Structure 1
Amino acid sequence: MFSPSFPTGETSKFINLPNTIRHLVYRYVGLPTNTFLYLDTSRSSRSPYSGTHQELDAVLNLLLVCRAIHVEVSSHLYSANTIVTHSLDPLTRLNPSSLSYLTSLKIHLNVAGTTHCGQRYWGYDSEGLRESDPLISQWKAAIGHIAPHIKPRRLELALICDCEPGRVNAASLILAPLQQLPVLRRCHIRLGCKPNRQFRQLAWSAAERAVGLVPPSSFHFLRLPPEIRIKILEYTDLVTPFNKVRWNPGAGYYTFRECDSRKYGPPYCHPNDHRACVLSKDAGKSCLTCPHGDSRVRYGPESHCWRCFHYACQFYDCERRSTAGDQTYTGCFCSRRHAAYSPLCQCWAPPTAFFLVSRAFREDAEAVFFAHNHFVVRTFCYYIRPSSLVGNTTLPPKRYPGCEFLSTIPAGAIRHLRSLEIIFDDQGRLTRYTQPPLRPFNSIKDRLGLHFLQIIALLLPARGRRMGIVAAEKGVDYVGDLADKYLWPLSRVDLVSRTRTLIVEIIDVVPDIFYYLRSPSNDFPIHIQGRLLYSNSHTARLITSTTGGPRSELGNNISGTHNRQLIEGFCLYGDITYPEFDI
């Protein structure tokens, strides 16, 4: 009777298998890769909140097989995963060889309450650190233990040590031992749960030194030529992610993430990348470069690629889009939410500090802020999730919001305003006033240099139905008269002569009315081009100073010079045959 035979000799040794095969076996057994390993707990999953976690018993058995496999497994264990600890004792127990394998280490030295950013790290509820805390001396000893064994430019270090507000000495004592470490591959530091400018500056300087960079010394910014100063400021938070700032009488200036997508990662295609889609035969329905279908409203022209807002997501919520790992459960280093610095954080923050440096610096900041953003002024907002740029709130004004907004802009900065949108969203109230609400613009028209102006008005639906039906019959003259009567006395105020594109929309009616004046050399913004694809009864004409008819006066006032030409037109959105109701 034959007994089963097994290979013997040198060919039967597991260690003789190719390296890739051995690692496949390790992973099959359960060796973790690209995950988080907690030195001070048995949980080693991506989400410590979950009920399941990786069992490391098989890994411990592998470490006991032989010296060669122990070295190979431990090397993979510490080099292919992120080591996380909120206690220094396990870190000081690591042997020199294990420390030399480290490539990513997160140390939660002291984590205070984290409700400020909505991220709660399991098991932590401590207070801010003070200078007298014994943890500081333990931290110095731990750095002295690991520093000699860390390989240069190999380790990525993330340190969280939330100090009490104002405890600059405590923060400095925590950062000082980092100078013993060799040059790091990357460094993230958080010194406070809530944003603090001084703590963030300390974290930034320490992180730059840790990776071998010398923080730049101060210089006299205002000695640079004005055009260079302006160009530098254009790359700061003075320009919002989507070049859009909202304003209303109660909240002041604010902005928020407009994308409805739950995705935060790339690609970040800009709407301007889809100009060809607007002109395509299928109006962009076959666009393959924009995968964020859930980031756009799913009906009408709003659902196309040129209306995708996902481009701005790269400047929000860095803990959700970080390529370095899941910060939601292992520590957030967003400089907007915390007193922290991370090279991965590009989050936009309100640029209030730029206006507080000096009078000369504020003038440059105002020039960039008002020239490179599109301002949307609303009567009121249905919901506000603001990132306030001002901080103070005011009572609703007695004047219309467009005029109130212009009165809040410094006199020397109003000339920089380039793009403005005014939304009258208090339905039906426009018809109760004896004069057009924008007539006060006449007093500041000489100081305005607008390139784009859009006015959106919501009228009562019953009144709007009659307006839309009559507009389809009478044409552009009737629509221009509507704008004169309810919004803007175009035939009397020559502000349009300084504006390259004027758009007036009367919406929430059936059909919606879209009236415009623009220079032939100026194209509509891409979202306006997309809307025109879905219009009907589109009528346009070229007007000059010599144009006859009832609108000749408009041509004279708008042109400014005898040789200037403008395109005047209107279109309707919706069913023109919608039944008319008597008023």
Structure 2
Amino acid sequence: MEELSPLLRLTPLVRRRIYCFVGVASWDPLAPHKFDLHGRDTGVTEQPKASTFHGLLLSCRVIYTEAAALLYSANRFVLHYAHAHAHVAGPGLSEPPEPLAPLFALTAASLASLTSLTIVLNQASCHHHFGFAGYYSSCCLDRNDTGPGLVASWLCERHHAGAHRLPLLAPPSPVEPKGDGDDTDTDTNSDNDAQYAAAQLLLAVWHSAAARLSHITSGRLDLGLVCDIDPQHERALEVARSVITPLTLIPRLRDLYIRLCKTIDPRLQRVAQDAVSQVLRIPAAPYSRPPTRTTLTSLPRELRLRILEYTDLITPSREVTWSRQDRGYVIFYRDSEQSAPDRKYRQQFSPCLSSQLARTFIGCFCRRRHTAFSRTCTCWAPPGPALFLVCRSLCQDAQLTFFSGNHFIIHDYKADPSWEVPFLGRWETDHQGPAPRYDYPSERFAASQFLREVIPRHCLAYLHFLELVFPPYLPHSWPRAGQPAMQDWLATVDWLQDKINAPGLTIRLVGADVSCFSPDVYKTTITIADAEAITRSYEELWGSLKPLADNGLARFYAHFPCPWQFFGTSRNYLKRWKWLKAQRQVLKERAERLVMGDRYEELYANGREEPHESFWTWTHYAQA
């Protein structure tokens, strides 16, 4: 009779501790390990490699059965379709028979033990399962007017090399112009057919993989599915439906996350949302016929507007931020100063990134950033087109509610990471000596772009509160008189005169201060001339709003850092805190008196106080 292995003579609790010690599972059940089923390095330096316990799994069948059950139940796994073709080809080496072969290699018992699996059929942006780069919730290769974020680009190059692909159905390269006599339509149709054929091949592989997942335990697996599709392709909707069809072959899931496009597309978003509801068997809200023919549009307008205030048109914080780098609306959160009931309400809309990090981030399935849907994403997203397309009167009511019921903060920062300032030129992290001299990096202000291109012209009169934020710039990078950006802004102010409701509008102009996350080049010692140059730029910005105040602007506030804070000995900011705080107040009063003139005293008359600082300010550490 074969003698029992010494390891198997130990108690199950001791054996589990040994398995955790060699890396089969994490010591912390709330922070499981992440493994790539193709064996690629996930870049998570704090977890052991699979090679450290591979020998243990091969020691004997009984130990394998026990350890494998723990391995697949206690960890998260990801499987990339593209990784099957990422190995080095050579003599005697052939492509694996199946791009998702690792899934077919798992035994039925291992499949039954799985609790978390993400299948990435195609990703056009970072999916964030590599190391701490998962901290970023937007694709690190996104481009903007001022260039890519330096930190994010470095992380992408280091952790995501080879992970990016073109969207499914996307053309392989931009279509070049054809000469006379070329049959452009024929070539385009041929390209579309080739892209569709490639998509069908991928879908066939995915269908086989979904059939293999029939061995999972019902109600146990969290499944993520990523297949970024080109929404511009004429067959995008057809392919999206084909992607989610195999999910019907899988037993009931514990949770499901679907992403169908890197960017937001309403048609594909509906496909993803319906798929999650169908697979998870989420019952639809019961429909009951109203007792009368009364509809929302038949109600008095005052009542309609009141009802619309309880929709997504009004954000939890009543603040909406528009970022030029992200080209979209976002909201920020701060709960520390909220009452308990209000905090509970606001937490319903906490960023899904924060909630998922708390339970180990599995990838970005955020509906605000992608065409994706999951039950864990509670991010606020701008209201979709459905509400605005019902009828003209309801569209106007919705626009009035959205633009009048929220404060709008306009800036150049990225939404995530929230401290990343616009790119002002190439600098080294260990920069020494005087700060480089860069001009203002754009020919337009973010505020000018927002007011002229983002808001419908007739909605400008609905605005009640507008906060215009300038990130920290190097001394000569602040916009100055005569520069294109300042000239464009002056023209925008003149253009706004008869389009806004000045007596009902409050404007706050903010010069964001540096923070502990700002690059060191923004904190270098400046000269007296530098400080004076910054002050003159401040005055140009303040003075530009004087015509609006002359036209009856309700209120104006200003917050700008003292330009003298980095004059003289560097990093003596804290030592001069009281003096700098007083100087900031002097600048504030100077700016508000310059703009409001004789009406300055009315700002704080009868106990009036300035509206509280925005949640964006708190989030970005923008004010000292």
- For the aligned pair, the TM-score class normalised by the smaller chain equals 0.5 to 0.7
Deviation at 1:23, TM superposition (A): 0.7
Q: 1:154 is matched with which residue?
A: 220
Q: 2:178 is matched with which residue?
A: none
Contact 1:438 / 1:487 at 8 angstroms: preserved in 2? no
Q: 1:80 is matched with which residue?
A: 74
**Residues 417-496 of structure 1 aligned to structure 2 (within 5 Å):** 420-421=507-508, 427-428=538-539, 437-438=547-548, 440-442=550-552, 453-456=555-558, 487-490=596-599
Does 1:392 find its partner at 2:453? yes
Q: 1:38 is matched with which residue?
A: 36
Deviation at 1:169, TM superposition (A): 0.6
Distance 2:221 2:297 in 1: 39
Deviation at 1:373, TM superposition (A): 2.0
Deviation at 1:367, TM superposition (A): 3.3
Distance 1:153 1:208 in 2: 15
Q: 2:268 is matched with which residue?
A: 199
2:407 to 371, 374, 384: 374
Distance 2:328 2:230 in 1: 29
Contact 2:312 / 2:382 at 8 angstroms: preserved in 1? no
Distance 2:542 2:20 in 1: 72
Does 1:106 find its partner at 2:118? yes
Does 1:95 find its partner at 2:107? yes
Distance 1:199 1:54 in 2: 37
CA deviation map 1:486-522 (0-9, x unaligned): 62554xxxxxxxxxxxxx4xxxxxxxxx8743445x6
Residues 241 and 355 (structure 1), Cα distance of their counterparts in 2 relative to 1, 3 Å cut:
same
Specify the structure having the higher radius of gyration (Cα). Answer: 1
Contact 1:437 / 1:487 at 8 angstroms: preserved in 2? no
Distance 2:309 2:371 in 1: 23
TM-score normalised to structure 2 length: 0.53
Does 1:65 find its partner at 2:60? yes
**Residues 501-512 of structure 1 aligned to structure 2 (within 5 Å):** 504=600
Contact 1:128 / 1:163 at 8 angstroms: preserved in 2? yes
**Counterpart of 2:223 in 1: which secondary structure?**
strand
Distance 1:230 1:480 in 2: 38
**Residues 5-404 of structure 1 aligned to structure 2 (within 5 Å):** 14-15=7-8, 17-33=10-26, 34-43=32-41, 45=42, 47=44, 54-67=49-62, 69-86=63-80, 87-112=99-124, 114=126, 117-118=139-140, 121-130=160-169, 131-132=196-197, 133-147=200-214, 149-165=215-231, 166=233, 167-214=236-283, 222=297, 227=303, 230-231=306-307, 233-236=309-312, 238-239=314-315, 243-245=319-321, 268-272=334-338, 318=353, 322-327=357-362, 331-351=363-383, 353=385, 356-357=388-389, 358-375=391-408, 392=453, 396=488, 398=490, 401=493
**Counterpart of 1:343 in 2: which secondary structure?**
coil
AA in 2 matched with 1:154: R
CA deviation map 1:331-371 (0-9, x unaligned): 43232332222333334445574784242233332333234
Residues 400 and 523 (structure 1), Cα distance of their counterparts in 2 relative to 1, 3 Å cut:
same
CA deviation map 1:43-75 (0-9, x unaligned): 3x453xx699614352442453242x3222111
Q: 1:279 is matched with which residue?
A: none
Q: 2:469 is matched with which residue?
A: none
AA in 1 matched with 2:360: G
Residues 421 and 118 (structure 1), Cα distance of their counterparts in 2 relative to 1, 3 Å cut:
same
CA deviation map 1:373-416 (0-9, x unaligned): 234689xx978789987782798355684x7557445x8xx99x
Q: 1:561 is matched with which residue?
A: none
Residues 85 and 254 (structure 1), Cα distance of their counterparts in 2 relative to 1, 3 Å cut:
closer
Distance 1:317 1:32 in 2: 25
Q: Identity of paired residues, percent?
A: 22
TM-score normalised to structure 1 length: 0.56
**Counterpart of 2:256 in 1: which secondary structure?**
strand
Distance 1:224 1:24 in 2: 66
Contact 1:238 / 1:368 at 8 angstroms: preserved in 2? yes
**Counterpart of 2:217 in 1: which secondary structure?**
coil
Contact 2:248 / 2:279 at 8 angstroms: preserved in 1? yes
Distance 2:491 2:165 in 1: 50
Which consecutive residues of structure 2, in runs of 5 or more, have no partner in the other structure?
27-31, 81-98, 128-137, 142-155, 170-195, 290-294, 412-421, 423-439, 455-484, 512-535, 564-581, 583-587, 615-624
Contact 1:245 / 1:255 at 8 angstroms: preserved in 2? yes
More strand by share: 1
Deviation at 1:187, TM superposition (A): 0.9
More helix by share: 2
Deviation at 1:159, TM superposition (A): 0.4
AA in 1 matched with 2:230: E
